[in-house]
Structure 1
Amino acid sequence: MLKELYTAALGMLPQQTRLEMTANNLANANTVGFKRSGIFEQSLIEARENLLNVRGDAETEDLPISQYVDFRPGALQKTGNPLDLALDGADTFFVVLAQDGSEHLTRAGHFTLNDQGMVITPDGKMLLSTNGPIRIELPQQGDTTNGDTVARQIQISPQGELQLNGQFVAQLRVVQVGNTQTLQRSSSTCFQPTDDTDIRELDAATIRVQQGYLEASNVNVVSELISMIQLQRMFELGQKVIQTNDGTLERSIDIGRFTS
């Protein structure tokens, strides 16, 4: 009877993980460049087999549940904004620099100019060129031209060459990752390489940038909603099994007390 309780309880843990993951996917369905998370089905099979042999000393850390990131590209959305950029290929990334000096890889190409003329992400990370952070010369104080006007004058070629009014400013730094599953998610749309990550710096001849486009999230809302409904039902079933066995255990204890 205790075995059934352990089996039901531990069987709910993978479903809880999947529920949390699915909820996060749905929350980021409209986040530019977001990549959905999933769980390897083999991990679920192994978890089930382990639960069949569970003992009283089982630990939740023993559950072999491993997540992965689905790097399939999302649909391209035309915006017409000069600093909205999209990359061809699922294994290529822009490189951005955080305030703590760490580099991150991202497919989310929604950039803007800050008041220092730096090209940044919505959370303040700086877009990198092959020579470091990209800075656009802004008009002097008192000039009627503002940053938005300057941004509209930026041209970025398919090869990643950034120009302002026809003058070269910077070459975008774009990298290709050999095995994207070696990347570690650092935020909703950013990733960091690990020791196992093979990164190749791309030159202008192999870069394909689309200016005025954004890559949408690759989350399929309908599929995720169906998955969530199924998971909730399975979770509720596990709860009922626990409640049933708990009631049976209590009655057994009461009988034992009475007979003793």
Structure 2
Amino acid sequence: MLKELHTASLGMLNTQTRLEVTANNIANADTKGYKRASVFERNLIDSKASLFNHPGKLEQDDPPVGSYIDWSTRGGYHHTDNPLDLAIDGSGFFVTRNASGDKFLTRDGSFKLTPDGFIATYDGKYLMGTDDDAIRIPDYMNIDGSDGTTKKTAVNIVVSATGDVLANDVAIGTVQIVDCENYSQLTRIERQSFIADVDAGVKQVAEDMVNIKQGWLENSNVDIITEMVTMIELQRAFEAGSKVIQTNDNTLERSISTSRFGYY
């Protein structure tokens, strides 16, 4: 009977993780550049050994499943007419940097101009150029005051397919695009931003291999219908596992009561 309880509990741990991953995918179906997460099953024997606190590859509290990111399926693209919306046609990532100097990789190419002329993400990370410095419109060029600055002559920003950035026909830098040899060494720290482990093998993509679409954004690769169907199936599986545990618990309770009655 204890065996059935442990088997059911392992199944519910599996289902719970799948539910969490699926719910997160649904929540980010409209997030630009988001890559859906999937779930893989670890070795069931190792998982059960961990549950019994036996030595093994997993920690005792680790669930019998893990998640990975679906890099193979690319999201579609949609046109925005915004010159600071960029999409990578192919593999690779934009490189951004926060005020502390930490670098991040992202497929989300929705950028804006800051009041001091930097091209940045909407949460304030600077877009990096191939010179490993933030791309910035020089002081002698005027910026459209859409975010509170004084409205002057608007800057005409053009980003070529190879990433060259021109403002009012003046070259100011080249967008840095990088790719990784080992995608499994990327850790998602936000919905669409990643940090790379030292073993990720991050390398700058050669300019002639870069293909950037200005005025476009990459959609999430989440299929909302598939995720909703999966969610319903998982909820039913979780309920079934809960009923198995409840049934075995009731049976065990009756057995204990019977044993006590017979003893006395």
Q: TM-score, normalised by structure 2?
A: 0.88
- Asked if structure 2 preserves the Cα contact closer than 8 Å seen for 1:10 and 1:60, the reply is no
In structure 2, what is the Cα distance between the partners aligned to 1:54 and 1:129?
A: 47
C-alpha distance 241-136 of structure 1, shift in aligned 2 (>3 A)? same
* The one of 141, 145, 153 aligned to 2:152: 145
Q: CA deviation at 1:195?
A: 2.2
- Structure-2 residue corresponding to 1:166: 169
In structure 2, what is the Cα distance between the partners aligned to 1:55 and 1:155?
A: 57
Q: Partner amino acid for 1:18?
A: R
- Asked if structure 2 preserves the Cα contact closer than 8 Å seen for 1:7 and 1:54, the reply is no
3-state SS in 2 of match to 1:35:
coil
C-alpha distance 124-257 of structure 1, shift in aligned 2 (>3 A)? same
In terms of mean alpha carbon deviation, does 125-134 or 172-181 score higher? 172-181
C-alpha distance 51-89 of structure 1, shift in aligned 2 (>3 A)? same
1:56-85 CA-to-partner distances (Å, cap 9, x unmatched) read 547753544221111222101111110000
C-alpha distance 231-93 of structure 1, shift in aligned 2 (>3 A)? same
Q: Partner amino acid for 2:14?
A: P
Structure 1 spans left out of the alignment, 5+ residues: none
3-state SS in 2 of match to 1:94:
strand
- Asked if structure 2 preserves the Cα contact closer than 8 Å seen for 1:6 and 1:54, the reply is no
Q: Partner amino acid for 1:96?
A: T
3-state SS in 1 of match to 2:93:
strand
- Structure-2 residue corresponding to 1:32: 32
In structure 1, what is the Cα distance between the partners aligned to 2:191 and 2:70?
A: 13
Identity of aligned residues (%): 42
Q: CA deviation at 1:54?
A: 8.4
Q: Partner amino acid for 2:13?
A: L
In terms of mean alpha carbon deviation, does 66-75 or 23-32 score higher? 66-75
CA RMSD after TM alignment: 2.2
Structure 2 spans left out of the alignment, 5+ residues: none
Number of equivalent positions: 251
- Asked if structure 1 preserves the Cα contact closer than 8 Å seen for 2:50 and 2:61, the reply is no
- Superposed, 1:166-185 pairs within 5 Å as 166-185=169-188
1:94-116 CA-to-partner distances (Å, cap 9, x unmatched) read 10002221111110000001111
In structure 1, what is the Cα distance between the partners aligned to 2:53 and 2:184?
A: 33
Task: Say if 2:255 is the partner of 1:248.
Answer: no
In structure 2, what is the Cα distance between the partners aligned to 1:101 and 1:144?
A: 30
- Structure-1 residue corresponding to 2:134: 133
In structure 2, what is the Cα distance between the partners aligned to 1:259 and 1:55?
A: 33
- Asked if structure 2 preserves the Cα contact closer than 8 Å seen for 1:95 and 1:104, the reply is yes
Q: CA deviation at 1:122?
A: 1.5
- Superposed, 1:79-94 pairs within 5 Å as 79-90=80-91, 92-94=92-94
In structure 1, what is the Cα distance between the partners aligned to 2:122 and 2:47?
A: 44
Q: TM-score, normalised by structure 1?
A: 0.89
C-alpha distance 51-5 of structure 1, shift in aligned 2 (>3 A)? farther
* The one of 220, 223, 236 aligned to 1:220: 223
Q: Partner amino acid for 1:129?
A: G
- Superposed, 1:1-260 pairs within 5 Å as 1-40=1-40, 43=41, 46-47=43-44, 56-57=52-53, 60-61=60-61, 63-71=63-71, 72-90=73-91, 92-131=92-131, 132-137=133-138, 138-139=141-142, 144-145=151-152, 149-150=154-155, 153-260=156-263
Q: Partner amino acid for 2:180?
A: V
